[in-house]
C-alpha cells in the first residue's frame, strides 16, 4: 500500500525543533505583554466571503492562493490565509470596537496555496498584532517600536524597516488613474500577471516579484507626489516619533502590500539573509476595513510576522535548555519499578521545576544507562534491590567526572537544589 505522506508545503515540526519554536514564541509573547496587548484566539476556518470581502478579489491570495471548499451544507469555507479578517469579524461580532479601543495579538497557522520553496510554505505560522480605535500615528509608532524591541531581544541585526503611505482611498483612486496611464503607455513591457492587474488592480503591479519588471516599476510615478494632506500629516507624525526614538527606516514610495485593505501607513521589515523571501514582518493601517464589514468606522493598524522566517534568523546559542531531563531514573527489578515511580512522583510534587524521566520498559542497567546518556540528563539515579533495602539511590554524574555517590531519599530534594540550582 502506498504510504500516506504530509501535504506538499505543510510540514511536521518535530520534537528536536519544537524547543526553538517555543523559545521564539515565548520571546515574542513576553514583549507583546510588555506593551499590554491581549491574546485573542480565532477559528482556523472562516466563510470564504469574509476573505473575499477583506483581502480583495483581485489579490494573489484571493484569486489563486486560498484553500476553499464546500462543507456538507454547501457553504464555502476557507482555511484562513491571514488573521486580520478573522480578527475584524470577531471584533464586530462581539462588540469589541464599540466605544472602546483594543490592542490584540494572535498566533497560529495560516494557509496559502503558493509554490513551496525556502521561506514559503503552504501552511506557515504567524504572530499577528492588531490595534483598533486609534486614529493617530502614535499607535503606528508603538507597533514599530515593539518590533524593534523584539529584533533586539532576538539578537537580529540585519533587519531593515521600509515605510510608505498609501494615502486615503480618494488619493489612491487618483493615483490609480495616473498609474493606469503610465502602465498603459508601456503595455508592451508588462508581463501576463501585470496585464491582468492593469485591468483589475493596477497598484498591485508595483508588488510584482518579476525581476524583468523592475526598471519599469522603478520609473513609475509614486503616490508620494499625490498624497492628500491628511495622510501626509499622519506620515510626518509617524516619522517624527521614529526619528526621536532613533529608529532607522527607508521610505520606499513603491511599497504596496499584497492585501487591498491597507491605507495610509504600510511597512515591512526585511533582511538580506533569507534570499528571495526576505520579508519577515509586514503590516500597516486599515481604517476602512471594519466599516467595509458593515460596522461603524474604526481606525485600525496591525502587522504579522512569519515565524518560519524569523526562526531562520534567530540566534539560539543562548537558548536555555528547558527540555532535557535533569534526572534519568534507572530501575532494576519489579519492586524497584513500583517504588521508583512513586519516588519520582514525590520528587515532582516537592520540586515542581525538576524534570525527571523514569525509565519504563525494563531491560538491563547497561541498556538503561545508554538511554540515560542519550536523554541529555545531567544525573542518573539508580534504584535496585540494594538501594531499596537502604531507602537510597545511587547517583552518577553523566556530564562530569564527579565520583558516584549514594544518598537517602529524604535528602534528594536538598541535593538537587544545591547541585542543579532548581
Task: Indicate the Cα dihedral angle 264, 87, 281, 102, nearest 10°.
Answer: 70
Residue number, 280 or 330, with CB nearest to ligand ATP:
280
77-96 residues near ligand ATP, rule: CB under 6 A? 82
Distance CA 303, CA 126 (A): 10
Is residue 137 within 8 Å of residue 167, measured between CB atoms? Answer: no
**Stretch of residues binding ligand ATP (CB under 6 A), selected from 151-159, 198-206, 306-314, 389-397:** 306-314
269-288 residues near ligand ATP, rule: CB under 6 A? 277, 279-282
Task: Report if residue 150 touches ligand ATP, rule: CB under 6 A.
Answer: no
Distance CA 202, CA 265 (A): 19
Task: Report if residue 419 touches ligand ATP, rule: CB under 6 A.
Answer: no
Counting residues that bind ligand ATP (by CB under 6 A) gives 18
193-252 residues near ligand ATP, rule: CB under 6 A? none
**Stretch of residues binding Mg ion (CB under 5 A), selected from 221-229, 252-260, 296-304, 356-364:** 252-260
Counting residues that bind Mg ion (by CB under 5 A) gives 1
**Stretch of residues binding Mg ion (CB under 5 A), selected from 23-31, 68-76, 253-261, 301-309:** 253-261
Distance CA 266, CA 323 (A): 39
Pairing of strands 327-331, 356-358: parallel
Which position among 19, 253, 258, 384 is part of the footprint of ligand ATP (CB under 6 A)? Answer: 258
Task: Report if residue 24 touches ligand ATP, rule: CB under 6 A.
Answer: no
Per-residue H/E/C for 324-380 = CCCEEEEECCHHHHHHHHHHHHHHHHHCCCCCEEECCCCCCHHHHHHHHHHCCCCEE
The CB-of-56 to ligand ATP minimum distance in angstroms stands at: 12
* Beta strand extents in 54-173 (DSSP E only): 67-70, 76-79, 102-111, 123-132, 160-165
The CB-of-389 to ligand ATP minimum distance in angstroms stands at: 59
| 280 binds, options Mg ion, ligand ATP, none, Cβ within 5 to 8 A by partner type | ligand ATP
Nearest to 309 by CA among 259, 275, 267: 275
The CB-of-258 to Mg ion minimum distance in angstroms stands at: 5
Residue number, 172 or 326, with CB nearest to ligand ATP:
172
Strands laid side by side in the 76-79 sheet: 45-47, 76-79, 67-70
Q: Is 361 exposed, middle or buried (0-12, 13-18, 19+ CB in 10 A)?
A: exposed
The rounded radius of gyration (Å) of the Cα atoms in the chain is 28
Task: Report if residue 304 touches ligand ATP, rule: CB under 6 A.
Answer: yes
The CB-of-251 to ligand ATP minimum distance in angstroms stands at: 18
Interface with Mg ion (CB under 5 A): 258
Interface with ligand ATP (CB under 6 A): 82, 112, 114, 119-121, 124, 126, 258, 277, 279-282, 304, 306, 308-309
Amino acid at each position: 500500500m502506498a504510504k500516506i505522506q504530509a501535504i506538499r508545503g505543510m510540514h511536521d515540526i518535530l520534537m528536536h525543533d519544537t524547543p526553538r519554536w517555543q523559545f521564539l514564541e515565548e520571546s515574542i509573547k513576553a514583549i507583546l505583554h510588555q506593551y499590554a496587548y491581549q491574546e485573542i484566539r480565532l477559528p482556523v476556518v472562516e466563510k470564504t466571503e469574509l476573505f473575499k470581502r477583506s483581502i480583495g478579489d483581485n489579490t494573489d491570495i484571493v484569486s489563486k492562493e486560498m484553500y476553499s471548499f464546500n462543507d456538507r451544507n454547501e457553504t464555502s469555507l476557507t482555511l484562513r490565509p491571514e488573521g486580520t479578517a478573522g480578527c475584524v469579524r470577531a471584533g464586530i461580532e462581539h462588540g469589541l470596537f464599540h466605544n472602546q479601543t483594543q490592542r490584540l495579538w494572535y498566533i497560529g497557522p495560516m494557509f496559502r496555496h503558493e509554490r513551496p520553496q525556502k521561506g514559503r510554505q503552504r501552511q506557515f505560522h504567524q504572530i499577528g498584532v492588531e490595534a483598533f480605535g486609534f486614529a493617530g500615528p502614535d499607535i503606528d509608532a508603538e507597533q514599530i517600536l515593539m518590533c524593534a524591541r523584539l529584533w533586539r531581544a532576538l539578537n537580529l541585526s540585519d533587519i531593515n524597516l521600509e515605510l510608505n503611505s498609501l494615502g486615503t482611498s480618494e488619493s489612491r483612486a487618483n493615483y490609480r488613474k495616473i498609474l493606469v496611464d503610465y502602465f498603459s503607455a508601456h503595455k508592451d513591457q508588462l508581463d501576463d500577471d501585470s496585464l491582468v492587474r492593469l485591468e483589475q488592480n493596477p497598484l498591485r503591479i508595483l508588488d510584482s516579484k518579476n525581476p524583468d519588471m523592475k526598471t519599469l516599476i522603478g520609473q513609475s510615478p509614486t503616490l508620494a507626489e499625490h498624497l492628500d494632506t491628511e495622510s501626509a500629516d499622519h506620515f510626518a507624525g509617524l516619522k517624527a516619533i521614529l526619528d526621536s526614538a532613533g529608529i532607522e527606516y527607508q521610505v520606499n514610495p513603491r511599497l504596496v502590500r499584497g492585501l487591498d485593505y491597507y491605507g495610509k501607513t504600510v511597512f515591512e521589515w526585511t533582511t538580506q539573509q533569507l534570499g528571495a523571501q526576505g520579508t519577515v514582518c509586514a503590516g500597516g493601517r486599515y481604517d476602512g476595513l471594519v466599516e467595509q464589514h458593515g460596522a461603524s468606522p474604526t481606525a485600525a493598524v496591525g502587522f504579522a510576522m512569519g515565524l518560519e522566517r524569523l526562526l531562520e534568523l534567530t540566534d539560539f546559542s543562548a537558548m536555555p535548555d528547558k527540555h532535557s531531563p535533569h534526572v534519568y531514573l534507572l530501575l532494576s527489578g519489579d519492586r524497584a519499578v513500583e517504588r521508583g515511580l512513586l519516588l519520582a512522583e514525590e520528587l515532582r510534587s516537592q520540586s515542581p521545576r525538576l524534570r525527571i524521566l523514569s525509565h519504563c520498559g525494563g531491560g538491563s542497567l547497561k541498556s538503561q544507562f545508554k538511554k540515560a546518556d542519550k536523554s541529555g540528563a545531567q544525573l542518573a539515579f539508580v534504584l535496585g534491590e540494594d538501594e531499596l533495602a537502604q531507602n537510597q539511590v545511587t547517583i552518577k554524574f553523566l556530564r562530569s567526572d564527579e565520583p558516584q555517590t549514594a544518598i537517602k531519599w529524604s535528602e534528594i530534594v536538598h541535593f538537587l537544589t544545591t547541585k542543579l540550582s532548581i
